[in-house]
């Protein structure tokens, strides 16, 4: 049985990617991130949470949380494809737990470029990644 661990912070994912020399190892790491991603409850696999524009099925669930400094948005997600589940984990690490204002300022493309995802993902997966980011930023703008 796979062990479910919290998504590591984006800084750790970036560091881990930096230690891996070739893309085979990076793909394995992406798959591992996907395997470790906490599962969404079955009822969260619904049309409201489904991300449009992804070749694989992807669901993102937003949970607002009030903190002393204001509203924060937590995200959980899932996909029917292992590598895409790993990409969902990266997106969650990048955006989850932040305020809507913070989410709006994050340059996801720069982080994806730093990880080397831009040049190593298929066009369909890159489009899906952009769709996930767009969905999260739309949710943040609506919550702001």
Cα-based distances in Å from 136 to 88, 93, 108: 11, 12, 11
Of the chain, the percentage scoring pLDDT greater than 70 comes to 97
Catalytic center residues: 54
Query: 13, exposed or middle or buried, with CB in 10 Å at 0-12, 13-18, 19+?
Result: buried
Q: DSSP assignment of 19-86, as one string?
A: H--SHHHHHHHHHHHHHHSPPPPGGGSSTTTBPTT-SS-EEEEEEEEEETTEEEEEEEEEESSHHHHH
Distance CA 69, CA 82 (A): 36
Q: For the chain, what are the domain ranges?
A: 10-143
Q: Identify any residues that bridge with 66 across adjacent strands, giving them in sequence order.
A: 71
Full-model pTM: 0.93
Per-residue pLDDT tens over the stretch 83-120: 999 999 999 999 999 999 999 999 999 999 999 887 88
Please determine, for residue 54, whether its predicted confidence score (pLDDT) is greater than 90.
no
Residue range 10-143 in CATH 3.30.450.20: no
The pLDDT value recorded for residue 7 is 86
The pLDDT value recorded for residue 5 is 58
Mean pLDDT rounded to a whole number for the chain: 92
């Amino acid at each position: 049985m796979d062990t479910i661990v919290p998504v590591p912070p984006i800084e750790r994912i970036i560091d881990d990617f930096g230690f891996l020399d070739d893309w085979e190892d990076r793909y394995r790491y992406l798959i591992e991130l996907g395997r470790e991603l906490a599962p969404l409850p079955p009822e969260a696999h619904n049309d409201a949470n489904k991300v449009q524009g992804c070749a694989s099925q992807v669901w993102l669930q937003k949970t607002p949380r009030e903190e002393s400094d204001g509203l924060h948005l937590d995200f959980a997600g899932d996909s029917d494809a292992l590598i895409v589940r790993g990409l969902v984990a990266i997106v969650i690490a990048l955006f989850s737990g932040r305020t809507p204002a913070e989410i709006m300022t994050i340059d996801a493309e720069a982080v994806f470029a730093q990880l080397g995802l831009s040049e190593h993902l298929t066009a369909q997966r890159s489009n899906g990644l952009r769709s996930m980011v767009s969905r999260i930023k739309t949710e943040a703008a609506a919550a702001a």
